[in-house]
Structure 1
Amino acid sequence: MELGAAALAASLALPRLAGATETVTAEGAMTMAYVTTSDGVEIFYKDWGPKDAQPIVFHHGWPLSSDDWDAQMLFFLSNGYRVVAHDRRGHGRSAQVSDGHDMDHYAADAFAVAEHLDLRNAVHIGHSTGGGEVARYVARHGQPSGRVAKAVLLSAVPPLMLKTEANPEGLPIEVFNGFREGTANNRAQIFLDVAAGPFYGFNREGAEVSQGVVQNWWRQGMMGSAKAHYDGIKAFSETDQTEDLRAIDVPTLVMHGDDDQIVPIADAALKSIKLLKNGTLKVYAGYPHGMLTTHAQVLNPDLLAFVKG
């Protein structure tokens, strides 16, 4: 007697740890992997490569997903590493929950993935908002649990993007209010405008615009939740991570393009390096905010050299 698809899938399902879920096809192949956080949020993750190899963990920027790291994940996979990346809550394939769109929850969610996969001696690499996530994760979760070997802050938002009396070099609140207005009223258009303009430096004279890159940015953004994206603007712009940076002891590479129009280098990398105990700064002349995509052929070998060093 033939089993129904649901019964067959159930009969072939592999045992799993509490808090972890997978989607299983009728043939028994796992297609999606999730971990459930302590506050009940399902976080999607990718985990490729040898499970006994050193893990390289990637943290994506706003409003994207783990797909933004394709070039780096395939590169490190080809060099024998285990590569892991997750979609931040409300982004990509993770649950579109209403609350928790702040650095504390972002870091705790990353720790839920690291704990579930028992990642140790890991190198955590974060881009933009993901760099803020890495800084808080390493300071509050990764170092105390002994799970982190090194960290990379790539075009990252720390220590603080917003202009304040104590941070006069920051960007005025009106800049971020503009992002909020665009996200609330027509995020499909603002996502196109950002990707086709300052994010990749495609608005610079002589720039070679890749429509595929623009459309992929838009695709990733529109997969996520408008609520998560709206709240995330406050998280990446108003979170002061000075103390996170001061608390990090592991070797940390700070990478930034000096033509970054989204996170200006003077208020980010050049300040972060002064706060880190064991930091190295690498500046890329003329590179944009999205240099991990536009200049992957340069950044990937530099990342590998740091990981191996």
Structure 2
Amino acid sequence: MSTITTDDGVEIFYKDWGPRDAQPVVFHHGWPLSSDDWDGQMLAFLSQGYRVIAHDRRGHGRSAQVYEGHDMDHYAADVATLARALDLRDAIHIGHSTGGGEVARYVARFGEPEGRVAKAVLVAAVPPLMVKTASNPEGLPIEVFDGFRAALAANRAQFFRDVPAGPFYGFNRPGATVQEGVIQNWWRQGMMGSAKAHHDGIKAFSETDQTEDLKAISVPTLVLHGEDDQIVPIADAALKAIGLLRNGKLKTYPGYGHGMLTINADVLNADLLAFAKS
């Protein structure tokens, strides 16, 4: 397996496919999944001549199940280590959900300052801030995320079956076509990772204020969000993020849910490729 080791000794697994001299596209997965969640997009970009890279976040997938560092600062620093190790330049960074938060912090703090990033894409992403606070009164109550933590601690295997079978892909909507293989693949990816990383990751994706990250990004940034996202409501995320980005473009999808990159891959891939080539 291909791995890099971070400054604090964490082994990070990554995939790196395609010509080494091609423009790199880096994919950042959501909670509690792995780089496998991007297989459809990686194959699509690979077929168009790009170099495609995706890593398993620390504590997720095949990366080391370490005790500490499950926060947005470490997530972004780990990406920076990977980008330096592979000497990625002129890269396009695409992040889904928590991975979108990782992209925003990496691009703002490392990618742009080091001159490594050409464009960014936030897909159903968590920034700027999910939880309800005095300065973010429209956010979700902390009790929602406490419920996630309680369900994970009580029976992670069942929780990781219920999420994809219900709100993640919108399979709980009337008339939805349920895809059992998609549910099982979500469960498989989740159960590969560390319960500790997943537990701590809830705080990372819900309570990290990334307002300043978004303001700092100047490269062209595409924001994609489903209008029926039951996990990261569009009003709390994309509609706020686009107002903070200096060079952002927003596209929304009526009826699409949080897992649209998988069950609506044909549409998403075409839009992602068009942005990459623009």
Aligned residue in 2 for 1:229: 198
CA distance in 2, matches of 1:187, 1:298: 32
Aligned residue in 1 for 2:59: 90
Q: How many residues align?
A: 278
CA distance in 2, matches of 1:189, 1:110: 31
- SS of the aligned residue for 1:124 comes to strand
Letter of the aligned partner of 2:241 in structure 1?
S
Are 1:166 and 2:135 matched, yes or no? yes
1:37-56 Cα deviation digits (max 9, x unpaired) = 00000000000000000000
Aligned residue in 2 for 1:280: 249
CA distance in 1, matches of 2:256, 2:6: 36
Over 4 Å off, 4+ runs: none
Are 1:78 and 2:47 matched, yes or no? yes
Residue in structure 2 matching 1:120, options 89, 93, 104: 89
Aligned residue in 2 for 1:256: 225
Q: How does 1:76-155 map to 2 (within 5 A)?
A: 76-155=45-124
- SS of the aligned residue for 2:63 comes to coil
Q: RMSD between aligned alpha carbons?
A: 0.3
1:75-131 Cα deviation digits (max 9, x unpaired) = 000010000000000000000000000000000001111111000000000000000
- SS of the aligned residue for 1:203 comes to coil
Aligned residue in 2 for 1:38: 7
Aligned residue in 2 for 1:191: 160
CA distance in 2, matches of 1:109, 1:182: 28
Letter of the aligned partner of 1:239 in structure 2?
T
CA distance in 2, matches of 1:222, 1:115: 30
Residue segments in structure 2 that go unaligned for 5+ positions in a row? none
Which structure would you say has the larger Rg? 1
Higher relative contact order (CA 8 A, sep 6+): 2
CA distance in 2, matches of 1:168, 1:190: 28
Letter of the aligned partner of 1:49 in structure 2?
G
CA distance in 1, matches of 2:247, 2:213: 13
Q: How does 1:8-23 map to 2 (within 5 A)?
A: none
Are 1:267 and 2:224 matched, yes or no? no
**What is the CA-CA distance between 1:165 and the residue it aligns to?**
1.2
Give the structure-2-normalised TM-score. Answer: 1.00
CA distance in 2, matches of 1:91, 1:184: 17
**What is the CA-CA distance between 1:59 and the residue it aligns to?**
0.2
1:52-81 Cα deviation digits (max 9, x unpaired) = 000000000000000000000000000100
Q: Between 215-224 and 108-117, report the one with greater CA deviation.
A: 108-117
Letter of the aligned partner of 1:297 in structure 2?
D
Give the structure-1-normalised TM-score. Answer: 0.90
Aligned residue in 1 for 2:178: 209
Letter of the aligned partner of 1:86 in structure 2?
H
